[in-house]
Amino acid sequence: MGLGGVFKAVRRRVDRLRIPFMYGSGKATDAELAQVVRGRVVVISGASYGIGEATARRVARCGGIVVMLARSVDRLAEVTAEIRADGGDAHAYPLDLTDPVAVEKAVATILGEHGHVDVLVNNAGKSIRRSITLSERRLKDFERTIKINYLGPVSLTLALLPSMREHGGGHVVNVATWSLRLPPAPFWAAYSASKGAFDLWFRTFGQEVRSAGITTTSVYMGLVRTRMTAPSDFLDDFPCLSPAQAAGLLGDAIVYRKPRIEAPWLGPAAMLYNPARTLVERRAAAKYPFQEDTPSSKAAVRRSEQRAA
């Protein structure tokens, strides 16, 4: 093994030690999760890849009835078939969350086939790292993230709410982002604003439905190595959670039903940010001219402009 291999091995070992502190780690065992989900209906959006797929596989392994939602029809069918082959109870419902009519129809079908929903995991999302400069003539960058990250989960949650009320309760999980607990960062305006909108809506929702027996958990998820992070090549060497580790945090959300799950340092960091807000944001503004959009983001804009020409 050369020096490069030794360096990578050491870095992986260090990352294994620091990732739990950076992002938190799941505590609930499979046995604990099984006590909560066995025989119960768990709806997971964005279930064909990444965090959603890993969570669906774990819930199914623990005896839950997994209702899987995603736009990628073929991949959704493939994952569902694999879960069933392993003895799990999984059901695929192809769905575009940006279509409110489709959401209503899908929920009607789910309730007709399963009777009710015990747990909803709002996981589907759209990430985009792009500067305001590149988005000057691209309002669609903001429209897309708002539809998928905000209006989509609002639509799904509202559609399931009457059934949860009638059933006497339920639990709803929001896969939020740790960036909402940190100062705003350049290049992430579209993503952070849309995730922040749903976070505020969701926390308000939690206050209003708790008396109906419906509990909520916001999981302020750190970086997870999935298809969403792939275009940001600068993250290639950055320590990230695996989808399975992220699914561990969602397992905690389902089992313990705390209002908030986040890395241990995020709370103190958020408290320190407010007094230093002006200084922190001015420092970010000073650094911005020395940063740039990723090559993949620039290429996407060029392709879009060429098609429009």
Active site residues: 191
Least Cα distance to 123 among 192, 193, 69 occurs for 69
The answer to whether the beta carbons of residues 179 and 220 sit under 8 Å apart is no
Q: Enumerate long-range contacts of 78-85, CB under 8 Å, 24 or more apart.
A: 78/48, 79/47, 79/48, 79/53, 83/56, 83/57
| DSSP states of 145-193 | HHIIIIIHHHHHHHHHHHHHHHHT-EEEEEEEEGGGGS---TT-HHHHH
How far lies 212's CA from each of 41, 163, 170, in Å?
19, 11, 9
d(CA 138, CA 132): 9
Q: Which two tokens stand for residue 238?
A: 């950055």
- DSSP three-state, residue 195: helix
Q: Which two tokens stand for residue 70?
A: 């995603």
Which region holds residue 169: left if phi is over 0, alpha if psi is between -120 and 50, else beta?
left
The answer to whether the beta carbons of residues 199 and 218 sit under 8 Å apart is yes
d(CA 160, CA 190): 27
Q: Which residues contact 26 (CB under 8 A, 6 or more apart)?
A: 245, 247, 248, 249, 250, 251, 252
d(CA 83, CA 93): 15
Q: Which residues contact 87 (CB under 8 A, 6 or more apart)?
A: none
